[in-house]
Amino acid sequence: MSWPPIEFSCLRCGECCRRLLVDSQLVRKGLPLFPEERGLFPEELIRPGVGIGHPDEPGFRIISYQLTQKVCPHLCDGSCGIWDMRPTVCRAYPYMPVITQGGYVTREASLECTSLMMEAARRHGAFDLDDGSLGEEIEALRRLSEIPSEAVGHLDEAWIYDLKRGRWARFERLRP
């Protein structure tokens, strides 16, 4: 049986706001934020995210920040307490930017999203998303992708801040 593409519908379950830390063997990453989005969260919950240059040298330029929390402090009874002001990364979800082996930044739909997980189960794993139902998300993703694109474009001098070790690591280590 062939299924029509999924018209995305958020269930407002709040699950994506409860799993904001991504751990790998290499680094722990939090919710990425543009510099102008830092003010949406208490200062003590924010660390640098991606930087260009060298962390110990003058001119080091931080292009993004990250939230240190696994559960978003704005999650309230399963809903976002700052919905109209939520950061770009939240506007892009369930899409996320990913870096391919060839060094391109492309998009991936998160199968951790409850809505997509349920659709994938119903359709035995294979499905397409109807982009027409995700216009705002795609627009936000385009903006969000500027962060990994800039890092990939300056790979020799790009760094990511590892929340687990509390120090900068070479961004190139994240490449597949």
**Interface with ligand SF4 (CB under 6 A), residue from 45, 62, 63, 75:** 75
Least gap, CB of 17 to ligand SF4 (angstroms) = 3
CA distance 164 to 112: 22
Instruction: Please name the residue that has the structure tokens 């407002």.
Output: 12
**Interface with ligand SF4 (CB under 6 A), residue from 62, 115, 142, 157:** 115
By CB under 6 A, residue 138 contacts ligand SF4: no
Stretch that binds ligand SF4, among 86-94, 99-107, 157-165, 166-174 (CB under 6 A): 86-94
The number of CA neighbours under 13 Å toward the Cβ of 157 is 13
The helix/strand/coil state of 161 is strand
CA distance 21 to 103: 23
Stretch that binds ligand SF4, among 45-53, 100-108, 110-118, 147-155 (CB under 6 A): 110-118
DSSP state of 116: H
Q: How far is CA 100 from the centre of its chain?
A: 15
By CB under 6 A, residue 92 contacts ligand SF4: no
- Residues within the interface to ligand SF4 (CB under 6 A): 10-17, 72, 74-75, 80, 82, 86, 90, 93-94, 113-115
